[in-house]
Amino acid sequence: MTATDDLVDLDPGPAAHALRRRLRQLLAEMLPADWRTSFSNDAEVQAVVGRICRRLGDERLLTINWPAEFGGAGADVWQQTVLREEMWAHFEPRGAQYMGLSWVGPTLMQIGTPAQLEKHLPGIAEGRIVWCQGFSEPEAGTDLGSLKLSASRTDRGWLLTGQKIWTSYAGLADWCFLAARTSHTDNKHTGITIFLVPMSSPGITVRPIPSIMGEQHLNEVFFDGVEVAEEAILGELDQGWRVIKLVLTHERIGIPRYARDERILAALAGHESLQEPTVASDYARTLVHTRVARLLNHRAIALNDAGMLSDREASVARVASIHLDQEVAGLALDMVGSDGLVPRPGAGLLGQVEDIFRYARSATIASGTAEVQRMLIARSAIREVKDET
């Protein structure tokens, strides 16, 4: 316990509980029985994503946390949290829309021009437009300040040349939130500019990167003399690092992986392998870890809402979640055994155990590796010790 714990309330409240029931009812009605991914080029999969997004949009649930002036419902942080948890627990049926809804849209609201707001927010709010994030490069991942994709000024605007990598959903995306180098200075974080780039622009090539995660999660994107207009710049020229930091504040609370893990454990609750004492012990331990991850994440959410969240609390919650994801996936595969090695149509969630296990391998890498999260925890602790002395 810390002094800040006395200042946060972890009770989501009746509105959030009612929303959870509503979302579960809606998803039970609309999702196929063996639904496992929305990140696919399959037309039937994308049709389901489209129907879900339209339904959520009609009920003002798609933009539940957006201010009313931008077409949102102005919901509180706990209703937003419930929405994120239920979407993740059901294999994110909004598809790649979560990116536009969770941080592209909110970032535009803060620093976008009126013309940019008018052009981009309606498509995000209606679930029509998919965004991808053009940040990482072959030599600029964790150290994003080392990015090299260049933007050169021309008579008609800017010319983009270079490569991005690990770009999720690039093959599905309509727009790219792109970080480019517009000038070179001694400070590598200066001289970066954010561009809003149509993925249909001539000169853009997307190459899928095969991986155990499945379709659309990893791609290379090449920009070969891509022309963009001056109005494509978001924020100030050469000050893109400030925009990136703003984006990261919206991403500070990680994916609620614990929500899907709870659902998997619930599906395993009556499995015959629990008759074995060692399996039952492993199950109980993992269930405790799931509850801990939820509480740590809810604590981070409450602190963030109160303006008191530090890197340490955010990263502690994320570390608990990402390791839990792999722990639950491993336990599920062990319990189901050879039956879990191939998809089993009609078997519900446990018919997707092998896919869940493969996807969980990325948990300790995506959105900041476990090692980076531990580094942030250590740095935060060191700063606090220095402040006290």
Please name every residue paired with 179 in a beta bridge, in sequence order, or none if there are none. 194
pLDDT in tens, 254-287: 789 999 999 999 999 989 999 999 999 999 999 9
Structure-block tokens of residue 275: 């008759």
What pLDDT score does 4 carry? Answer: 53
Nearest to 79 by CA among 10, 30, 13: 13
For 41, phi then psi, to 5°, come to: -80, -5
List, in sequence order, the alpha helices (H) in 337-369.
Answer: 353-360
What pLDDT score does 181 carry? Answer: 97
**Percent helix / strand / coil, the chain, rounded to 5:** 55, 15, 35
Give the β-pairing of 150-154 and 204-208: unpaired
Structure-block tokens of residue 102: 């969770």
Q: Do domains 132-249 and 252-388 have the same CATH topology?
A: no
Amino acid at 148: K
The domain segmentation of the chain, as residue ranges, is 12-94, 132-249, 252-388
Please name every residue paired with 228 in a beta bridge, in sequence order, or none if there are none. 158
CATH topology of domain 132-249: Butyryl-CoA Dehydrogenase, subunit A; domain 2 (2.40.110)
What pLDDT score does 335 carry? Answer: 95
What pLDDT score does 262 carry? Answer: 96
Amino acid at 51: R
For 156, phi then psi, to 5°, come to: -105, 0
DSSP 38: S
Is the CATH number 1.20.140.10 carried by domain 252-388? yes
What pLDDT score does 370 carry? Answer: 85
Q: Where are the beta strands (DSSP E) in 210-258?
A: 219-228, 233-234
Cβ neighbors of 309 (< 8 A, separation 6 or more) are: 252, 300, 303
Structure-block tokens of residue 297: 């994440």
How many CB atoms within 10 Å of residue 21?
Answer: 11
What pLDDT score does 311 carry? Answer: 84
What pLDDT score does 3 carry? Answer: 45
Amino acid at 27: L
Q: Are 331 and 286 in contact (CB under 8 A)?
A: yes
Ranges of residues in the chain with a pLDDT under 70 are: 1-8
Structure-block tokens of residue 94: 């909004």
This prediction has a pTM of: 0.88
List, in sequence order, the alpha helices (H) in the chain.
Answer: 14-30, 43-58, 77-89, 97-99, 105-111, 114-125, 240-250, 257-268, 277-305, 311-336, 353-360, 370-388
